[in-house]
Structure 1
Amino acid sequence: MDGDGDVDPGRDDLPLRANTSHILVRHYVLDLDIHFQTKIITGTVVLFLEPCPVAGDGNGAGEGAPTPPQPSQTDDSWEDESHREFTLVLDCCDLTVSKVEELDVTSVSDMQGLLREVKGEGSGVEPQPDSQSAVLIQRLISLPSTQWKKQHHLYFQCSHAPASEGGGPLIFHTDRWSLQVRKRGVRTLQEFPRALRVCYETKPEGGSVRWTKDQDNRSCVYTAGSPINNRALFPCQEPPVAMSTWQAQVRAPKECVVLLSGENQAQPTYLHHTGLSSWDYYVTMPMPASTFTLAVGRWRQATAQLSTAQLTLPVQGTRAGASHTHAGSLDLNPFTNMDHPVISSPQSTLVYSGLKDEKHSESDCSGLGDDNFTCCHADYPCPFTDPSAWSQEVVPHRMFAPPSLLQKAQVQILPLLSGCLAAAHATLGVHPFPRLDVLIVPAGFSSLGMASPHIIFLSQSVLCGERDGVGGERDLSLCGSRLCHELSHSWFGLAIGARDWTEEWISEGFATYLEDIIWARAQQLSSEETEEQSKLKALLRWRRLSDELQNSEEQLQILRPNMESTGQVSESGSSLVKHALNPEKTFMQVHYLKGYFLLRFLASKVGQECFLHFFRLFVKKYHGQLILSQDFLQMLLETFPDMERQGLNLEAIYADWLDRPGIPKWLCEGSAIWTQTRLVEEVKAEVAKWIGLSPSVGKGRKRKKAGLKVNFKEVMPEQLVLLLELLLEEAELSVTSLRTIKRTYDLQKQDAEVRHRWCELVVKHKYAQAYGDVEHFLIHDQAMGVYLYGELMVQEDSRQQALARRCLSLVQNEMDQSARRVVEEMVL
């Protein structure tokens, strides 16, 4: 894989520069201060390092290691000395580094006990005895997971150790994508310091965090899932193979809540001398640095104090126009119960008490294996080895939002959490993470949701479409489905990650497939209802995939773009992530949809229940590890040998699904069956009624009166999406029909998927009376509005183009950077 040398990734490819084949960061200790006035974060990160056993002495930076593409900024002789001294290369972007120093961990009194102890279990190489500091760090890193509290205490103590006085200073160099560190005279890996402290500050324009305003116009900052991940937040090793633990102390204004992707539920400590609050988080499960997540703002916690009767929500296939019961009052205290175990949301109508007793998959597929297994990952306190975790259907959880959206979040999301968590547990087994926070992020967030360890970000677009208040008629389909999608990532995407980031389908395809199953279980749907809704959603996704494949570059349609080179890196460990910086890729759904259909295809070969049982077996084997497509597919073929006897092997799956653009043969041939279901036939009948009302524009008063006598059938949200999509295929619709469609389905109160299709209809037919709906969507549903800008511009209608430019001017300062670039190319 071409990852070394003077790489210019240009527009598309993201370089991963860290030399992870030589040395690995095993633990980070971050100490950060949030400055809203200047929009910077200042602080330090301490890195605890371990040489890789395969690296040997590794003179220099290693053959093929990244070399700086720009002139040295720190030392004129940097490039001249690059082949004489060992270089630690960290991924870094848009950071101002002021100092890098070696820590004197021998000065930490508590560390001396490690010299008297027998070396714990670990994969590292014991340093030479003449380096006491290296011996101490190696033994600290190698402490068994049963001593994780002691280990984290010592990490914290060492992070405050003074700089080492011997051996001279560390020198460093920064270029566009990396921070490179050397110690003068140190030519071998084994001599390189094991504990470093980097003093730095972020830049306001850094792409890893978003400085913005929340829905109440109050300052906040959060990690927004940038293509460059966290390298503009702290220097780190970005390649996913660099799995590490971390702990962080974050200081922020006292009125702020600091949420991090940590295992513990932090409580703020008020610092009287500064007027700030300090928050401490940690993780004990090694994870890629890209999963570190931060959100600081004046969020408020919703704690439900309602009875089951007060939470009667229409979650089981509610049709457009159905009513619901209003919920009661809230506790709006931002620090309610933050220093105590989380008060779980009350039992909702998503009943989950019986989910753990569902044994259909085990009984139908009893030959696939048993519950005896051994963890194959690195040593950490794993919930899969804790018997109580197997019966814990629902982990502790909290809900946060800005005050203006808190009541909506409490009514619509909080009651769903317990049922969805339990359904996910019933589907996939042990929850990999011990707790969960859910946060409604600012309007400029570029997707509907993002999952990180212990925290989920949700867009305000998953909330019901009503503009004012929390009452009104609504349905929770989009909200519940998206929540289940993000919960699925706890297993596929986080607990099991992709070893090669270009195999995005391993995360997104799996989550898209599992969201339907988990949401159906959460609603307690019958098998018939589940099957009907599954086919309807498959049809909608098929239509979306077909459209996207017709309007995208072929190279972006391939699920395994590196093909036979997937997972390969250079000798130093550096690599390139293809297309990662392409702003258009951010808004493509190919990896979601094509991956989803691949899993449907595989399930059709073995039966869904056996397929889901296999998922549980796969999770047991691979949790805590990184995988490639072949790991999943090879285990599947070994578990179900009949698949190969039917001619389905690894090469065939690669050829038809993963390594080529376009639509796989099975999908072309099998998609027709999804149009022949009861739910789809109902939609077609409704569409025929609307077409009958408006065969052409400008029919008279009699036609309008006749339209009022037509009885329209209530439909579910997914049916309404399909109905509007089919109406979009009509060349003409009268103003009267459009007005009646909006009124009949109460469209302004529907979810964002429905309102998006409505806005497309408005734009296509230049229905000026509803341009306000389009403007509202572009401002308040930015996660889904990018495509609409293109529709407004392509019509070449001056009023529509003015609308697009006005909306862009209103939201451009809060937009996601990738979204803004794409929209500006369309509009300006």
Structure 2
Amino acid sequence: MESNRGLDLDPNKDDLPLRANTNHMLVRHYVLDLTVHFQRKVIGGSIVLFLEPGVVSSKQGEPGSISNTPVQNISQVSSKHDVSSPITPEPNKVIPPEEPSRLCGGNDVSSVLWCDESEEFTLVLDCCDLTVSKVEELDVTAVPDLKKLDVDQQHANTDHPSSSLVQRLVSMPSVCWRLQHELYVQCSRSPTLHNAQPLRFHTDRWSLQIRKEGVCAPHDFPRAVRIWYETKLTGGSVRWTKDQDGRCCVYTMGSPINNRALFPCQEPPVAMSTWQARVRAPCDYTVLMSGENQAFPKPADTGFLQWDYYVTMPMPASTFTIAVGQWLEAGVKHLNFEMEKTDEPYDKEPSFSLDNDDQQYVCSHMDYPCHFMVSAARAQTVIPHRVFAPPCHLQKANDMVLPLLPLCLTAAHSVLGVHPFSRLDVLIVPSGFSSLGMASPHIVFLSQSVLTGERNLCGARLCHEIAHSWFGLAIGAQDWTEEWISEGFATYLEDVFWSHVQKLGCREAEEQRWLKALLRWRRLSDELQNSEEELQVLRPNKENTGEVSESGASVVKHALNPEKPFMQVHYLKGYFLLKFLADQVGEEKFLDFFKVFVGKFHGQLILSQDFLQTLLDTFPGMSSRGITLETIFSDWLDTPEMPEWLRDACSEWLRTPVVQEVKGEVAKWIHFSGSGGKGSKQKRAGPKVNFKELSPEQLVLLLEFLLEEPKLSLSTLRLLQTTYNLQAQDAEVKHRWCELVVKHKHTAAYRDVEQFLIHDQAMGVYLYGELMVQEDARQQALARRCLSIIKDDMDQSACSVVEEICELNERALFDSRVCVCVCVCVCVAGHGCVFVW
């Protein structure tokens, strides 16, 4: 399929703007105070931003930085901001409940009042589909405990005492983090500055812009700002849906726009910040978040409980994750909620000592209470963990996920060392989740698709997500277009961890990895043939990677391209690059290098050259074989081409014993299919063939080889189904089985296809294309029927793609942007790699 080669990508449509002027002002800490309203399907309340002028701050008299942002200005100024439902600030005692509704229009800005070319400094936040009612400057001098902090001459500002106090607050050393968090909360409840007008603000499609009258430089801008807002149902950051038991829930599903439709924030990965969140939800709901503490609910308003989470490790805002639903915890008896027995917010945390008697870890990151420096953490092979699921999947989660989790955590620790995060929750998310998994700090989302079949798919997926704790979260990409830094590493380590869990011998583990490499090579080959070349490049910005504008604003190339979510090239090509590098130095040495690299770079953002140059410096012999930074860029990262090494390696993988065994079984099935149609007597008796038992990965390869056959008899398909019990296999196997059913119009197994489309939505998009392109009325009706059943609960992006497929006419050819071969991998909400399907 070459028709797509001539398609032009529209940067105004396909690129995601990062508007925040992080070079002028940085958010150091967020305090969120929110309530989840299921009846209205909104999350509302306040967020307080604690600010610090950036390294490249505007000077006195400079125009607002919004005019310097190198993205299209598509602002549409409203005089009302569509505040149809007032935000009730019950969390804050300082403002009466009726005041926001009375003043919600008090600082609305008309097109006459707001000018992009104003001389006043503009704080620009990334924001989309939020109803902002008011922005306030807080008077933190009203917090008595804050005045006890020594404000040295460096932080003193007699003209702006609040600024001096906030600067001292955000600069407190990490050993004082508990006191710092207490002060953040107290400051977040401060009254507004006496006799001060609300700050002026303006929203456009991608940003919230804030000014204070007469302030022309970042250093004079308020340092503590409170924003009152609500989410919109149209917002793309959170998903309002129902779980598998038909009960309402909401969660951050890994959107291309990240969290900007959940709260106003700074999206660029360099904007690393900490946060605290108080979330109120109805009493029968559980609130799970990416906080480092295990929250215990406390009574709030009538019918509500409040949940308090926090993080002490500065991370990008995109890693913030929330899931609110009537989840149950696997492995425990379920009675009433356990209430917190104390008012002390941090007494549940272990008292680990911060020391560094192990010199393999030398922290180079900004100051925070680093888990790598905790002596007890270095010996902790399994971190505290929990598994949550809707009631209908609780038993499966208990039987499948809960036993695997400590094994996968142990394997990861044995390879990479200290777990970067102190705990882990795993949640089985609703069926409309469009990927097999998504990793965030302290929490992993898993699709229900991993709960069927043998444990291989579930275990491998857990290993992949756990690997993201190191690559994607503890170490993130400085430029979000370099997704391979997260996804390629996690895919590579997934195999390493899973081999440890299975306790395979060296030879057996090597053969399993060869088999997986072959399967991935086949997927990558298909993708490179059926996708736009621009989307196949791992470093699309090339020598400009990591560059931003003077203000800190930038764009994420292709992030909004509708084909992008279905691409696997960053997983697969990144994985093969690491496999190539391991081949040069030996896997054992390569993994030892990983451990050293993690010790040096955890808590930091990196570019490709940071990893590659460190590797080349560690193994100088590679350069003598012609492997340099430039050759790696040209052969692997800056080109859509298939590297020559990969073509040669594929030939070797095809000759491995596990693959040859599959080929032998394929030959038996082809022979059976041919002989099964010769004469009624032979068909009744049936040829006697002894088929070998195959692993799930071998079974996937077997079905892929059989898919290449132009014709298979129905008796062959029936025997295939019964021999391997295909409808009970894992989702990867069932996916290939359904493709065979559709290709050969095996009507007796259409029920399997229907069940797959409904219950394995993370992997079903491609099948809709197959059903429609066959020009078979029954198959097309099946596709439309399944879509009508699950449409309301489907992921928006997947739904729009499937709707487009179903609306195409009955010509056998259709747009390659839609018919993308999809084998869903997993996603990560960290450092820009928010999700890949």
TM-score (norm 1): 0.89
**Larger CA deviation: 78-87 vs 213-222:** 78-87
**Distance apart, 1:71 and its partner CA:** 4.1
Instruction: Indicate the residue corresponding to 1:137 in structure 2.
Output: 166
Matched, 1:422 2:422: no
Q: What is the rounded CA distance, in whole Å, between the counterparts of 2:676 and 2:503 in structure 1?
A: 45
The aligned counterpart of 1:13 is: 15
Q: Who is 2:84 aligned against?
A: none
- 1:442 aligned to 2:433? no
Q: 2:401 pairs with 393, 406, 413, which one?
A: 413
Residue aligning to 2:31:
29
How far did residue 583 of structure 1 move? 2.2
Which residue is 1:245 aligned to? 274
In the TM superposition, what whole-angstrom CA distance separates every residue of 1:690-713 from its partner, at most 9, and x where no partner exists? 111112784433343454521111
d(CA) in 1 for partners of 2:469, 2:339: 25
State yes or no: 1:42 paired with 2:30.
Answer: no
**Structure 1 residues 647, 127: closer, same or farther in 2, change over 3 A?**
farther
Give the corresponding residue for 2:295.
266
How many angstroms does 1:199 deviate by? 0.2
Q: Which moved more, 1:561-570 or 1:662-671?
A: 662-671
1:213-612 aligned at under 5 Å gives the runs 213-271=242-300, 273-303=301-331, 331-333=333-335, 335=337, 371-464=359-452, 474-612=453-591
Aligned match of 2:201: 172
Supply the distance in 1 between the matched residues of 2:677 and 2:686 (Cα, whole angstroms): 14
2:75 to 43, 61, 70: 70
1:530-563 per-position Cα deviation (integer Å, ceiling 9, x unaligned):
1010100001101111111111111110000111
Matches within 5 A, 1:715-754: 715-754=694-733
Deviation at 1:85, TM superposition (A): 0.3
In the alignment, which of 64, 73, 78 is matched to residue 61 of structure 1?
64
Look up the equivalent residue of 2:69 and give its one-letter code. A
Q: 1:778 aligns with which of 757, 760, 767?
A: 757
1:266 touches 1:339 (CA, 8 Å); kept in 2?
no
C-alpha separation in 1, matches of 2:652 and 2:359: 37
Q: 1:337, 1:767 → 2: CA distance?
A: 55
| Structure 1 partner of 2:827 | none
Distance between the aligned counterparts of 2:536 and 2:686, measured in 1?
A: 44
1:116-166 deviation per Cα after TM superposition (whole angstroms, max 9, x unaligned): 3558xxxxx735332110000000000000000000000000111111124
Answer yes or no: is the 8 Å Cα contact 2:297–2:339 preserved in 1.
Answer: no
Secondary structure of 1:487's partner? helix
Give the superposed CA RMSD.
Answer: 2.0
Whole-angstrom CA distance in 1 between matches of 2:796 and 2:73: 26
| Aligned equivalents of 2:341, 2:497: Cα separation in 1 | 31
Q: Distance in 2 between matches of 1:81 and 1:714?
A: 68
Q: Structure 1 463/223 Cα, relative in aligned 2: closer, same or farther at 3 Å?
A: same
> What secondary structure is seen at the aligned counterpart in 2 of 1:812?
helix
1:167 CA drift (Å): 4.5
Report if aligned partners of 1:461, 1:751 keep a CA contact under 8 Å in 2: yes
Q: What is the correspondence of 1:69-148 to structure 2 with a 5 Å cutoff?
A: 69-73=74-78, 74-80=109-115, 82-114=117-149, 116=150, 118=152, 126=155, 128-148=157-177
**Residue type of the partner of 1:376?**
S
- Supply the distance in 2 between the matched residues of 1:575 and 1:117 (Cα, whole angstroms): 35
One-letter amino acid of the counterpart of residue 63, structure 2: G
CA contact (8 A) 1:299 1:334 kept: no
Identity %: 65
Look up the equivalent residue of 2:64 and give its one-letter code.
A
CA distance in 2, matches of 1:428, 1:754: 31
C-alpha distance in structure 2 between counterparts of 1:800 and 1:524, whole Å: 44
CA 1:706–1:533 in structure 2 vs 1: closer, same or farther (change >3 Å)?
Answer: farther
Give 1:372 shift. Answer: 3.8
3-state secondary structure, aligned to 1:99: strand
Q: Distance in 1 between matches of 2:333 and 2:347?
A: 14
2: distance between equivalents of 1:825 and 1:334?
Answer: 46
How far residue 770 of structure 1 moved from its aligned partner, in angstroms, is 0.5
1:317-336: CA deviation from partner (whole Å, max 9, x where unpaired): xxxxxxxxxxxxx6344747
Q: Which amino acid aligns with 1:685?
A: G
647 and 298 in structure 1: CA distance in 2 versus 1, 3 angstrom threshold: same
Q: Which amino acid aligns with 2:134?
A: K
Match of 2:824 in 1: none
Matched-pair contact (CA < 8 Å) for 2:361–2:600: yes
Q: What does 1:640-719 correspond to in 2, within 5 Å? A: 640-695=619-674, 698-705=677-684, 707=686, 709-719=688-698
Q: Distance in 1 between matches of 2:608 and 2:63?
A: 34
Q: Separation in 2 of the partners of 1:18 and 1:576?
A: 11
CA distance in 1 between counterparts of 2:443 and 2:52 reads 29
Residue 600 of structure 1, CA deviation: 0.2
Distance 1:336 1:539 in 2: 49
**Structure 1 residue matching 2:459: 3-state secondary structure:** helix
Tell me by how many angstroms 1:98 deviates.
Answer: 0.2
Deviation (angstroms), 1:337 = 9.9
Assess, with a 3 A threshold, how the Cα gap between structure 1 residues 212 and 339 changes in structure 2: closer, same or farther: farther
Q: How far apart are 1:72 and its partner, in Å? A: 2.9
Asked if structure 1 preserves the Cα contact closer than 8 Å seen for 2:464 and 2:491, the reply is yes
Write out per-residue CA displacement over residues 164-195 of structure 1, whole angstroms, 9 at most, x where no aligned residue: 12453310000000000000111111110000
Q: Which residue of 2 aligns with 1:315?
A: none
Q: Equivalent residue for 1:150?
A: 179
- Determine if contact 1:696/1:733 at 8 Å carries over to the other structure: no
Alignment correspondent of 1:316: none
Contact 1:697 1:733 in 2 (8 A): no
Q: Which moved more, 1:370-379 or 1:231-240?
A: 370-379
Distance in 1 (alpha carbons) for counterparts of 2:319 and 2:493: 21
CA–CA distance in structure 2, aligned partners of residues 583 and 81 of structure 1? 31
* Structure 1: tracts of 5 or more residues without a match: 1-7, 120-124, 304-329, 344-369, 465-473
1:51 to 43, 48, 53: 53
SS at 1:134 equivalent: helix
TM-score after normalising by structure 2: 0.88
Q: In 2, are the aligned partners of 1:18 and 1:238 still within 8 Å (CA)?
A: yes
1:265–1:753 Cα change, 3 Å = same
**What per-residue deviation string (whole Å, max 9, x for no partner) do you get for residues 46-99 of structure 1?**
000000133252622236236853243323345536331000000000000000
Task: Evaluate the alpha carbon distance shift between residue 601 and residue 695 of structure 1 in structure 2; reply closer, same or farther with a 3 A threshold.
Answer: same
Q: Output the CA distance in 1 between the equivalents of 2:475 and 2:456.
A: 27
Rate the CA distance shift 1:707–1:214 in 2: closer, same or farther, 3 A.
same
Q: Report the 3-state secondary structure (helix = DSSP H, G, I; strand = E; otherwise coil) of the residue aligned with 2:214.
A: coil
What displacement does 1:824 show? Answer: 1.4
- Match in the other structure for 1:350: none
1:212 touches 1:219 (CA, 8 Å); kept in 2? yes
1:295 offset after TM fit, Å? 0.2
Amino acid at match of 1:191: D
Question: Secondary structure at the residue paired with 1:727?
Answer: helix
1:812 aligns with 791
Q: Is the 8 A contact 1:300 1:333 kept in 2?
A: no
Counterpart of 1:308 in structure 2 is none
Structure 1 stretch displaced more, 36-45 or 59-68: 59-68
Q: Secondary structure at the match of 2:534?
A: helix
Does residue 629 in structure 1 map to residue 581 in structure 2? no
Alpha-carbon offset, residue 744 of structure 1: 0.6
